[in-house]
Amino acid sequence: MIKILDNIKKIKNSNLVYLISKNQDLIKLDFLKLSPIIIKKIKNIIKKWKNRKFEFFLWKKELEKLVIFFYFKKSKKDLVYFLWKYFSSLENNITLLSNNNNFISLIDTCILSRYKFQNYKTKKEEDNINIIVDFDNKNEIKERISTLKNIIYARDLWETPSSDLTPEQFVKIIK
């Protein structure tokens, strides 16, 4: 389930995912009231200019963990490849917070890398993805999520065996 929210207070038991590429991106995390030790560690990581993923336990009711991706453009690897490598291993309850840089890439990678064909499973694992957006970006994000849902639907059609999805059935779906 994908939800677009404008307020972090509506979230429970989630892991906050945030992309950092410079010191100024830390300002957006002020609401967490992180300890000075964690802030110092984050700033030291930023100084090293290496692409990495770090997790910090928050021990809060609404946010259990802070997952920070450090991505710097000096790297030879593409942002999407970097994020894809880690997103599939994250837990099922994720909250994405925008830093307004590369947010669409963050959403795309989060949703598409976590795709699983589960049409024939009795117990389906559902991801809960919350996306915290500014009012200015809300319509753009809604359009993008609609496109991503269609991509996932196309993937489901591709994975469906031909015995269950005959050409006649496929034509009906397309119409």
Tell me the average pLDDT across 104-127.
Answer: 82
Which residue range(s) make up the domain with 156?
Answer: 2-174
Residue 17 in this model has a pLDDT that exceeds 80: yes
User: pTM score, two decimals?
Assistant: 0.77
How far apart CA 7 and CA 123 sit, in angstroms, is 31
Tally of domains within the chain: 1
Residue 96 in this model has a pLDDT that exceeds 80: yes
Residue 83 in this model has a pLDDT that exceeds 60: yes
CATH number at residue 50: 3.40.220
Q: In what order do the strands lie in the sheet with 52-57?
A: 2-5, 128-132, 93-97, 14-20, 63-70, 52-57
Residue 141 in this model has a pLDDT that exceeds 80: yes
Residue 146 near residue 111, CB atoms below 8 Å: no
Whole-number pLDDT of residue 54? 86
pLDDT band at 74, cuts 50/70/90? low
* Residue 152 vs residue 99, higher pLDDT: 152
Residue 77 in this model has a pLDDT that exceeds 70: no
* Residue 94 vs residue 79, higher pLDDT: 94
pLDDT band at 138, cuts 50/70/90? confident
Going by their DSSP bridges, the two strands 63-70 and 128-132 should be labelled as unpaired
Residue 48 in this model has a pLDDT that exceeds 80: no
pLDDT band at 50, cuts 50/70/90? confident
